[in-house]
Amino acid sequence: MKTKIVATVGPASNSKTTLKALAQAGVRVFRLNFSHGDASMFVDIIRSIREIEAELAVPLTIMQDLSGPKIRLGMLEEKAINVAKGMRLLLGPTARRITELPYLPFDHEVILESLTPGDRMVLADGGLQFTVVERRPDALVLLEANNSGIVTSRKGLALPGKATKVPALTEKDKRDLAAGLILGVDAVAISYVQTAEDVREAKNIILAAGKNIPVVVKLERQGAVDKLDEILRETDVVMVARGDLGVECPLPMLPALQKRIIRACNKAAKPVIVATQMLLSMVNSPAPTRAETTDVANAVLDGADCVMLSEETAMGNFPVETVQYMREITAQAEKLLLEQRELVEPDADRGIPEFLAYSACLLAKKAGAKAIVSHSMSGSSARQISSRRPPQSIYALTPEPESVKALNFSWGVIPVHIADPAAETSHVGRAERFIASSDEFLPEEKIVITAGQPPKGGQPRGTNLVKIYWK
């Protein structure tokens, strides 16, 4: 089990019995979607996950997914507006309620002021598309429909390719994040990120609360993709959120965009999640479609660390069966990935950590090692090794509980918590002790170890050692 599975918790899966079955089927990250409530909804769920974690003796990661600034229409005066192609409508504040044309209430003044003729506007996840014709002297915006459909109240609105001044963290998000940190979430996903500053804002809130949990950036806007390099420098994990991203960019471009994002994340040794509609038909069907099966497999072959289920486990009729299917699909794809993927030497301008990770993988390959055991405090060394996709399992040893949970996002990594670090202060010694006491390794098997070897009388300063160990 190398590719990690993220499962969204909802009405179909929020009982302890189902949560346990999901974990037994292979889920390692549970997503709590704060778009549909606040922290009070998740207290019992978090308690159940922690109990299951103890019962199964397996680290389980709880990811809080903040709703972000979802831009929506207001409440229509009529039940619905039937829109025909070429029809003109007005967009403006709820308080105006103009009757000369069909009226769409929209109380986002900053966005209204930014609209210019030619801008595209999309409603209902792409179901209806409009072009901005004019910003009138009365500050209302004239739209023309590019296709036919029905508009109802509170529909989500997107402006493909257009940057807005709306912050990624709303006041609700900040309240939810503070509450989530108190409840003990292990990671937080932030929505509609546009810049690296959005990531820094979330991290500052987390640090101010005395926590050190990973931030997951959801790539949903073209502007964020355009600034991927600078966002990657700040974030810990990336999610290819194909729902909104598929609205922001033309759908035929989405597969190539997914591949480019994953490639960049692999190069930066940052875990990447592929999300949205991966096995959507299994909401109502006990088996996926051929296309869905291929989609999941291709995500693994592209280099995804995690694949995510949304409606499938939150509200579907077959949540456990869906995870079982996803596990089988990823297992088969991993075999092909390991056949095709070659170990490539890092470029000359890369740093020491990259070369140490490469050396560990090369040594494991040449020696026919059973596994790679990596000791580090932050888990960075294990992530570097993971990004090279070695066929060996990667055991990541750390005394830091937060690092254990963060490593559940990394492909092929089995996090191991060093519960009593004082019993053995040497990082190499901890790795050797783990191997010697583990039933996973047989006598005479070879294991590669990476660790920090401090100078005499000094403290470890990061990974600086790669060695082969015979049990």
Which residues are marked as active site? 31, 72, 218, 276
Triad 224, 230, 231: Cα angle to 5°: 50
- 344 phi and psi, to 5 degrees? -110, 130
Joined tokens for residue 66 = 């903040």
Residues linked to residue 7 through DSSP beta bridges, in sequence order: 30, 309
Triad 288, 294, 300: Cα angle to 5°: 115
Instruction: Round to whole Å and give the CA distance between 434 and 439.
Output: 10
